[in-house]
């Protein structure tokens, strides 16, 4: 039986703080409403749609004649790749929202807008700085670790949707990747990887690699490279060195995303370490 987070004494000492952290970060119970059969089907369908869309985009870029037209800038060729890619990722995101948002406790839902606002502010600042990073997922990772994979995924999705509808429309197609980041952060918390700094760094590295692969087709085929000043310049340099658009964008993602997510996960580790035990216990239920 999982240890109760409510039997810990007053969190005034380091030993008591460690006890609560072990219970929360080792098991990380979400206390969400259990998945119904229809919600399980929606989650599975969302994963298949997103994975299928990604595979289709990569295969299309690798061999279809439309890809040559895309590079030449013809509108028909661009639409043949970018439009289905956006529609597929968007459909997957909507399925995830439908399956999981209603499962979250009210306390978690109430925090998501604040987490999204933090992500947006930091992301905007980094985007204008010229640094080839993002750092727009720190709050997503934090919610995922404290409240579980579903909460992390919903935070990522809502961040990108709110960001796109208010400030920067280019972030909306990346909502699926943001969901993946929050989901993986939640599972890293469940596995207890945030007990030690090295575990958080390892989880961030793996998450960054997967997120880089997931976001590269969107960056390449919908936006022609990168959105930020820093990431766009890296893509341009790689293309000048002979890489294809998708190749350059993927390499840029694999350079930037693992470092970016490793930093984000390390920051969350520091935040969690400094949180009062009472606050951490609240997220456990």
Domain count of the fold of the chain: 1
Rounded Cα–Cα distance for residues 198 and 204 (Å) = 10
- With respect to residue 1, please indicate whether it lies within any of the assigned structural domains: no
Tell which residue, 217, 227, 211, has the closest CA to residue 164: 227
- With respect to residue 13, please indicate whether it lies within any of the assigned structural domains: no
Q: Tell me, what's the pLDDT at 64?
A: 44
CATH number of the domain within which 74 lies: 1.10.1760.20
- With respect to residue 93, please indicate whether it lies within any of the assigned structural domains: yes
- With respect to residue 20, please indicate whether it lies within any of the assigned structural domains: no
Q: Tell me, what's the pLDDT at 248?
A: 85
Q: Is residue 159 within 8 Å of residue 178, measured between CB atoms?
A: yes
DSSP type of residue 33: P
- With respect to residue 9, please indicate whether it lies within any of the assigned structural domains: no
Rounded Cα–Cα distance for residues 66 and 4 (Å) = 57
Instruction: Tell me how far CA of residue 88 lies from CA of 81, 112, 235, 283, in angstroms.
Output: 11, 25, 24, 33
Rounded Cα–Cα distance for residues 211 and 190 (Å) = 19
- With respect to residue 192, please indicate whether it lies within any of the assigned structural domains: yes
Q: Tell me, what's the pLDDT at 11?
A: 44
71 CB-near residues (< 8 Å, 6+ apart): 244, 245
The burial of 176, by beta-carbon neighbours within 10 Å (0-12 exposed, 13-18 middle, 19 or more buried), is given as: buried
Rounded Cα–Cα distance for residues 74 and 67 (Å) = 10
Rounded Cα–Cα distance for residues 109 and 101 (Å) = 8
Q: Tell me, what's the pLDDT at 281?
A: 63
- Whole-model pTM? 0.82
Q: Tell me, what's the pLDDT at 239?
A: 80
What is the pLDDT tens value at each position of the chain, 285 positions in all? Answer: 444 443 344 444 444 444 333 434 444 445 567 889 999 999 999 999 999 999 988 888 654 444 444 444 444 555 677 888 999 999 999 999 999 999 999 999 999 999 999 999 999 998 888 788 899 999 999 999 999 999 999 999 999 999 999 998 889 999 999 999 999 999 999 999 999 999 999 999 999 999 999 998 888 888 776 655 567 778 888 888 888 777 888 888 998 999 999 999 999 999 999 988 776 665 553
- With respect to residue 16, please indicate whether it lies within any of the assigned structural domains: no
Rounded Cα–Cα distance for residues 267 and 221 (Å) = 32
Which H/E stretch holds residue 56?
Answer: helix 37-63
Q: Which domain holds residue 41?
A: 34-283
- With respect to residue 10, please indicate whether it lies within any of the assigned structural domains: no
Q: Tell me, what's the pLDDT at 121?
A: 97
């Amino acid at each position: 039986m999982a240890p109760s987070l409510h039997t810990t004494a007053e969190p005034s000492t380091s030993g008591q703080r460690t006890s609560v952290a072990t219970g929360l970060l080792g098991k990380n119970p979400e206390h969400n409403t259990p998945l119904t059969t229809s919600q399980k089907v929606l989650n599975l369908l969302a994963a298949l749609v997103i994975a299928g869309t990604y595979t289709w985009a990569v295969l299309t870029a690798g061999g279809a004649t439309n890809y040559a037209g895309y590079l030449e800038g013809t509108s028909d060729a661009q639409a043949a790749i970018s439009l289905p890619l956006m529609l597929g990722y968007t459909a997957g995101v909507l399925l995830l929202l439908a399956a999981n948002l209603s499962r979250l406790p009210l306390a978690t839902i109430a925090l998501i807008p604040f987490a999204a606002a933090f992500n947006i502010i930091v992301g905007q600042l980094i985007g204008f700085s010229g640094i080839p990073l993002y750092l727009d997922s720190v709050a997503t990772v934090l919610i995922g670790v404290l409240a579980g994979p579903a909460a992390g995924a919903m935070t990522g999705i809502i961040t990108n949707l709110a960001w796109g509808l208010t400030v920067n429309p280019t972030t909306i197609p990346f909502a699926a990747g943001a969901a993946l980041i929050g989901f993986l952060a939640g599972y890293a918390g469940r596995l207890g990887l945030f007990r030690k700094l090295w575990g958080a760094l390892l989880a961030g590295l793996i998450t960054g690699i997967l997120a880089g692969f997931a976001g590269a087709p969107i960056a390449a085929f919908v936006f022609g490279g990168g959105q930020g000043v820093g990431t766009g310049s890296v893509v341009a340099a790689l293309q000048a060195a002979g890489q294809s658009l998708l190749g350059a964008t993927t390499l840029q993602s694999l350079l930037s995303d693992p470092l970016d997510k490793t930093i984000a996960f390390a920051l969350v580790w520091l935040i969690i370490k400094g949180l009062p035990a009472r606050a951490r216990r609240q997220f456990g239920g």
